[in-house]
């Protein structure tokens, strides 16, 4: 399980992240305040502010924590296995729990540049996962030519996102397999 970075944060970080997720579920991103997180978690407000100067980096840290815990970079031994695991785990992540809350927050990026930065950062982590998978596939000789990892990341996550966030009909496991097989083989010509 590479790619899972050790959690950075104060003592009690678990309680803080749990409080952020509970308050996001109850009040949404707009209603959430750093003070509310301090009350809910029982962690001193000044401790929170020492680590995260405002709401967006605090929420970003909570999502980064959930991603590191719930979305390890797959290492199944094959490119197909890794890509299927990436798509399936992300579809499950965004359908429920912290991922559902993250999707709700990111769906409201609108004109909010701090949220757009958060979206960029989280999509950047996804892209790093994809690059790790393609890098290993290249080392095994499974990939022989250049791959645009950023575009591949968008091709893998875009359909997951449309279904989980926009239409709310999450991608099934079978759809995830078909998606990856289409990307691997191309259209039948």
1 vs 174, which CB is nearer to its own copies?
174
Compute the least distance from the CB of residue 147 to its own copies, in Å. Answer: 6
User: For residues 14 and 121, which CB has a smaller minimum distance to its own copies in the complex?
Assistant: 121
Residues at the contact surface with its own copies, assessed by CB under 8 A: 79, 104, 106-110, 116, 119-120, 123, 142-148, 151-152, 154-155, 157-163, 165-169, 175, 178-179, 182-189
Q: Of 70 and 175, which has the nearer Cβ to its own copies? A: 175
Q: What's the min distance (Å) between Cβ of 42 and its own copies?
A: 30
The residue behind tokens 């996804």 is: 126
**∠ CA 18-35-63 to the nearest 5 degrees?**
35
Assess contact for 56 and 118: CB atoms under 8 A.
yes
Tokens of 86: 């990436």
Encoded tokens for 82: 């890794």
* Of 22 and 119, CB closest to its own copies: 119
Report the nearest approach of its own copies to the CB of residue 82 (Å): 12
- Where are the extended beta strands (E) located within 78-142? none
> How far are the Cα atoms of 76, 108, 133, 134 from residue 81, in angstroms, in the given order?
6, 33, 10, 12
């Amino acid at each position: 399980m590479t790619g899972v970075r050790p959690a950075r944060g104060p003592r009690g970080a678990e309680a803080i992240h749990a409080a952020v997720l509970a308050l996001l579920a109850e009040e949404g991103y707009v209603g959430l305040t750093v003070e509310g997180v301090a009350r809910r978690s029982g962690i001193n407000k000044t401790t929170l502010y020492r680590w995260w100067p405002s709401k967006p980096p605090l929420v970003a840290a909570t999502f980064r924590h959930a991603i590191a815990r719930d979305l390890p970079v797959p290492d199944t031994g094959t490119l197909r296995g890794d890509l299927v695991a990436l798509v399936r785990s992300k579809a499950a992540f965004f359908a429920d729990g912290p991922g559902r809350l993250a999707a709700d927050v990111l769906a409201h990026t609108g004109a909010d540049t701090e949220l757009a930065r958060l979206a960029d950062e989280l999509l950047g982590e996804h892209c790093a996962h994809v690059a790790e998978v393609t890098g290993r596939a290249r080392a095994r000789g499974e990939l022989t030519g250049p791959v645009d990892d950023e575009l591949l990341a968008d091709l893998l996550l875009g359909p997951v996102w449309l279904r989980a966030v926009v239409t709310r009909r999450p991608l099934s496991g079978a759809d995830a397999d078909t998606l990856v097989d289409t990307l691997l083989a191309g259209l039948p010509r």
